[in-house]
Amino acid sequence: MWAPTGLAHRAPQRLLPDTRRVISRLFVPGQEGFETQESRTGPVLQRILALSDEEVREALRDLVTHFAGRHRDLYDTWRIHADELADRLDSSHALSESRMLLLGATFTNEYAIEGAALCNPSMVAHPNQDGVAPGSLRFVMSVRGIGEGHRSSIGFRTGVVDARGSCTIDVPVAFASTGHFEHTLLDAEVLRAELRRRDCAGEATDYIFATLDQRFTPADLDERLDSLRAHMSTRGHAVGTIDSVREVAKRFYAIVFGASTTLSERVLWPAIDAESVGMEDARFVRFIDDAGEATYYATYTAYSGSVISQQLLQTEDFQTFTSTPMAGRAAANKGLALFPRLINGRFAAMSRSDRETNTVAFADHPAVWTSASPCQQPVETWETVQLGNCGPPIETDAGWLVLTHGVGPMRTYSIGAILLDLDDPTRVIGRLRRPLLAPADDERHGYVPNVVYSCGALVHAGTLVMPYGICDSAIGVATVPLQDLLDEMFSDGRVD
């Protein structure tokens, strides 16, 4: 293995997947994803209706005993799932509350969000620092949970970095909740950019947006699409354009969590077709605008099972999240990571649109990235397969600190670092020749062997605090004295 710098100190605390953390989902017998026949809903429903009242009460008592302590608002979940069967029930014969609850429970299953793996964390300062000890910082850590079928979701942990740079991660609550889906406004600039990428920027597209505002509702869009259908005989490719617009429009949505839920309870679960198999590798950044106001953004990879795309999360409080499709060639692949402020009046991001080098992109809209400029090419042995970022750049007095990932022989992932000029981040002014962190002997075995990987770190008390995934099986935290790291970067790879 490639000898790392020796600057990183691994904290003893590790986060392991917790198979007890489960969410409840609608379960339809016969539609588990691998059967081709119709669902078995009808026969199952008839069996529930055939039970005696005492059998129903006994079954419900048993269910409550075994499952009530594993979920928040379990009765509400069962009622919602029972309502899915309303069209199959005789409306003239009302069912008892107990039978309706049992019916809902029969069409519910648990999903262990961390059943297979826990990995790829990112870390940002918490929006609420009330009650934190002087010199300490409360943080939010996003995590990628992987469960049955390799389906990924985004979860959260909290903790504190103290005045000495030591990190402690809080124990999460027992419950896991997925929040409520809501429609949100659509953005004309994002839709147009994605349609241009798909070569759908023609007459039909111009017609659709001619009377729409910059932001508009799904109902507004439906009205324009219906109008286009009625007047499309002279507009070529209108049908394909309509299909593309609808597909992209479905990728705008919001998730809202109840105020009574704690942050570590909240789980962002796939909500649209584009991310049905996974929400992967969220890179959170605390973005400060020119007025000094903070907004949290996160880019993440949406995976449908056959197509990858990137989405942009936005939140101010980690209670309400909006998700927006990201458009443009620079956002066409995995791993876009936003800088934490505007640079020369524009948004900036690290991009890996060519899948193997680090580039820098600039944009006037945080979700539209049309092009990128070269920044870093693979040079060292441990990065010969590909390069990418390990999260958003971190601003220091010396420059933008960018943690990188390099993939080398035996598909080994290591974490490196480069330093970019504050005013021109396409210019590398320092770098590490050796990995900052490489898999240790006890970090080479897991779901994906020989991988250490991070989606974002922070600096506090003169210390780089870097959470990192270990073989997609656990999460560790490494700390590095910032000045020592900068000194090593300049001695290793100063660029004048």
Average pLDDT on 276-296 reads: 97
pLDDT digits (tens, 9 = 90+) for 231-247: 887 777 789 999 999 99
Query: What is the predicted pLDDT for the residue at 33?
Result: 57
Query: What is the predicted pLDDT for the residue at 495?
Result: 52
Alpha helices in 201-267 (DSSP H): 203-209, 218-230, 238-249
Q: Which helix (H) or strand (E) holds 350?
A: strand 347-351
pLDDT digits (tens, 9 = 90+) for 290-329: 999 999 999 999 999 999 999 999 999 999 999 999 999 9
Least confident of 33-47, 256-270, 343-357, 411-425: 33-47
Query: What is the predicted pLDDT for the residue at 37?
Result: 63
Q: What is the DSSP string of 8-76?
A: -EE-S--B---TT-EEEEE--TT-SSS--S---HHHHHHHHHHS-HHHHHHHHHHHHHHHGGGSSSHHH
Beta strands across the sheet bearing 337-338 = 337-338, 347-351, 358-363, 372-376
In three-state secondary structure terms, 127 is coil
What percentage of the chain exceeds 70 in pLDDT?
A: 97
pLDDT digits (tens, 9 = 90+) for 197-220: 888 878 899 999 999 999 999 999
Distance of alpha carbon 189 from alpha carbon 474, whole angstroms:
39
pTM of the model: 0.94
Which domains, ranges and CATH numbers included, belong to the chain? Answer: 9-18+113-181+252-493 (2.115.10.20), 22-112 (no CATH), 185-249 (no CATH)
Query: What is the predicted pLDDT for the residue at 19?
Result: 93
Q: Do 188 and 211 touch, CB atoms closer than 8 A?
A: no
pLDDT digits (tens, 9 = 90+) for 58-107: 999 999 999 988 998 899 999 999 999 888 888 777 889 999 999 999 99
Token representation of residue 111:
């999903």
Asked whether the predicted pLDDT for residue 496 surpasses 50, the reply is: no
Average pLDDT on 164-168 reads: 95
Asked whether the predicted pLDDT for residue 31 surpasses 80, the reply is: no
